[in-house]
A and B are shown apart, each in its own frame.
Chain A
Amino acid sequence: MAVGHPLDPYLRTDRIPTMWCPGCGLGVVLGTLLRAIDRRIKEGLLKREHIAFVGGIGCTARMTLYPLFDSAHVIHGRAIPFALAVKVVKPEMKMIVVGGDGDIAAIGGNHILHAIRRNADILVVMVNNMIYGMTGGQLAPTTPRGLYTTTTPYGNPEKEINMVKLAAALGANYVARGSITHPHLLEQVFYKALVKQGLAFIEVLSTCPEIFGRHIGLRNPVDLYTELKKRVVVKTKPSVDESDYDWEKGFVIGEFVERDDPGYIEIYRKYISKAFGGGEE
């Protein structure tokens, strides 16, 4: 027997290997996220049976298939309302929503908007490969302007969405951007976000050599990885104004927002206690 991986206890090992392509950044995301979870469990700050993954549709949402926790692989864009409802009914749960840029920022846009506005107690991990990977290379709201996609064959005429700015503007308690090219920093933002109340939003820049890489002439995973790494600028505590999302100028990664406003559940429970005559439950 081969020696087990240290993260095996957290994985449905009978489902490994994953469905992700060689060179895909998602393995790094899952690995760093599970390491951060493992640290928090060992610290006694998270309970294993109270951790749940929810994802919509896409390569990132398929991340829900592998961790050995309660998991839901639901429909495109709708992971957030599912997760919030579980949290309302069972506040002891730590709900982790994983989704791609299409799942979260396009079809799920309305839900992320209102989840942030509510400061809903959910960790949202949006893995951004700047393309629709699973469906074969169509335009995403994160695709840099001018680039070829299969549905913008003459170049993308649209401006990209900057989800960091959106999350910061609407009042998320924690907003960070990481990159799979910097796994230790990524693990650290996951580690912090896991114990945040309110909404924690983490955008993860990732590589999709098979689709995005092919579109821009960098199908070799190492080439795309190197290219992304070149464009990533690491900053300690950057301001939201520095969060510009720009393929040409580069992408600043770091923690943009860290607040400790009460989360949705805490406020909701305070108001709902009025149904019992005004006192706490």
Chain B
Amino acid sequence: MRYEYLTGNIAIAEASITAGLKFYAGYPITPTSDIFEYLAKELPKHGGHVIQFEDEIASINAVIGASWACAKSMTATSGPGFSLMLEALSLAVITETPLVVAYVMRTGPSTGVPTRSGQYDVLQSTYGFHGGLVIPVLAPSTPQEAYDLTIRAFNISEMLRTPVVLLSDAVIAHTYGKVAIRERSEVDLIDRTKPSVPPDAYKPYDPVNGLVPPMACFGEGYNVLVESLTHDERGYYAPRTDVQRRLMWRLYKKIVENSGKLFDYSSTYLDDCDYALVSYGSTALTANVAAKLLREKGYRACSVKLKTLFPVYEDGIVNLLRGVKKVFVVENNLGLYYRELRGVIRDKEVVSVPLIDLDVPPPQEVVEVIKEWL
């Protein structure tokens, strides 16, 4: 392990190398391009490939292809690029292709303010693609978390054969922080399960005894079928209700039944808290300070930072906040993740604290909004 002073973006790039990234495809976009540029220089030294494609659509489809060639694969983008990638993310979901998308949010909608921050895309990150399933979404708020959660994102993608979104934002992207960089031998890395049967007995979408099928790659003689159509365990198109039901429920369950395993958070003052400020990403920096300011004023406030945004771990979140009287959801948008929490917390008031700020929202503003509800 060594310590370095890195931005969130470079922490993501470093972590992806630690995690075993072997293929990166991308298209330049602010505020993400330095992940791409860093990897273009460094990844080949680790036996990986970095290719600039003609657009984000090509990039994500290339990432899917590379993953089927056995390479741990990633792309990074921001709102406009992620919007272009959505159709292919749906393909990655139905074909159960492990991959990581580092999504560095910027101010939107549309071109917005490309260099500045916001959290407008938090729901799009998992609900944006067609097909009504869930992509795991992890949200760092510091360069160290960006590093740690990137490794976790790769592990989840390999373990569950799913795309995973690492949801950062423009503040974290270019904020420097001390980051503990680990050697590969110092981290637990998960690789996809390979088939244990000979090629003629292999079914690419048969989960055998669990929910996640073993995955063979191209070029190994398994006659793999990557199928975007509704398919049975062999990968054969089967336009039948029973097959659609079986497939949908399995794809849903393999993510949602692992909610507990995927859940991650951190908190301050939670043991002694009436008013919880729940936040994620760069807004957690605001919420942490706001909680402190409220305590200085005599309110029993605390800060809860969610590092896993999706799947929403209902039991875990309810349990975490069981002792508090009121929940405030602090985010740099019109109050989007608030809707998720309001949906699972039914025994107490959940208040949205929507902030719109091109940078980290000032904690004092949060305090002023919240005080009216105390």
User: A110 CA to B61 CA in the complex, in Å?
Assistant: 13
Which residues of chain B are within 8 angstroms of A70 by Cβ–Cβ distance? 218-219, 222-224
Nearest-neighbour CB distance to chain B for A36, whole angstroms, equals 19
B87 to chain A, nearest CB (A): 6
Report, as a range, how many residues of chain A touch the other chain.
35 or more
Q: Which residues, 26 to 70 on B, are CB-close (under 8 Å) to A?
A: 41, 44-45, 49, 51, 53-55, 57-59, 61-66, 68-70
**Docked pose: A54 CA to B51 CA in angstroms:** 20
**A-B CB pair tally, cutoff 8 Å:** 120
Tell me, in angstroms, the Cα distance from A76 to B109 when the chains sit together.
26
The answer to whether B91 and A92 have CB atoms under 8 Å apart is: no
In A110-147, the 8 Å CB interface with B consists of: 110-111, 113-114
CA distance A70 to B218 in the complex (A): 6
Whether B372 sits at the interface, judged by CB under 8 Å, is no
Indicate if the CB atoms of B226 and A86 lie closer than 8 Å. no
Contact call B226/A74, Cβ cutoff below 8 A: yes
Residues A214-235 near B (CB distance < 8 A): none
User: Which of A15, A86, A114 is within 8 Å of B65, CB to CB?
Assistant: A86
A82 with B218: in contact, given A15-B236, A70-B224 (CB under 8 Å)?
no
Residues of B within 8 A of A110 (CB): 54-55, 57-58
The answer to whether B71 and A81 touch across the interface, beta carbons within 8 angstroms, is: no
Contact B58 A81 (CB under 8 A): yes
Does B228 have its Cβ within 8 Å of any Cβ on chain A? yes
B residues 92-134 near A (Cβ < 8 Å) are none
Between B64, B65, B68, B220, the greatest number of chain A beta carbons within 10 A of the residue's beta carbon is seen for B65
Q: By the criterion CB–CB under 8 Å, are A90 and B65 in contact?
A: no
* Interface members, chain B 192-228 (any A CB < 8 Å): 218-228
Q: Are B223 and A78 in contact (CB under 8 A)?
A: no
Chain B: residues with Cβ within 8 Å of the partner, total of 43
The docked-state distance in angstroms from the alpha carbon of A208 to that of B220 is 36
Note all chain B residues with C-beta closer than 8 A to A68. Answer: 223
Closest CB in chain B relative to A113 CB, distance in Å? 8
User: Which residue of A54, A65, A88 contacts B49 across the interface (Cβ within 8 Å)?
Assistant: A88
Closest chain B residue to A48, Cβ basis = B221
A86 in contact with B87 given A70-B218, A75-B61 (CB within 8 Å): no
Residue A195 interfacial (CB < 8 Å): no
Could you jot down 21 A-B contacts, CB within 8 Å?
A52-B218, A70-B218, A70-B219, A70-B223, A70-B224, A71-B223, A73-B226, A73-B227, A75-B90, A78-B88, A82-B62, A85-B23, A85-B62, A85-B65, A89-B22, A90-B69, A90-B218, A92-B219, A111-B54, A113-B54, A272-B49
Kindly list the 10 A-B residue pairs having the minimum CB-CB distance in the complex, ordered from nearest. Answer: A85-B65, A82-B65, A72-B226, A275-B44, A85-B62, A89-B69, A49-B221, A81-B58, A85-B66, A78-B61
Interface residues, chain B, with chain A CB atoms under 8 Å away: 22-23, 25, 41, 44-45, 49, 51, 53-55, 57-59, 61-66, 68-71, 73, 87-88, 90-91, 218-229, 236-237
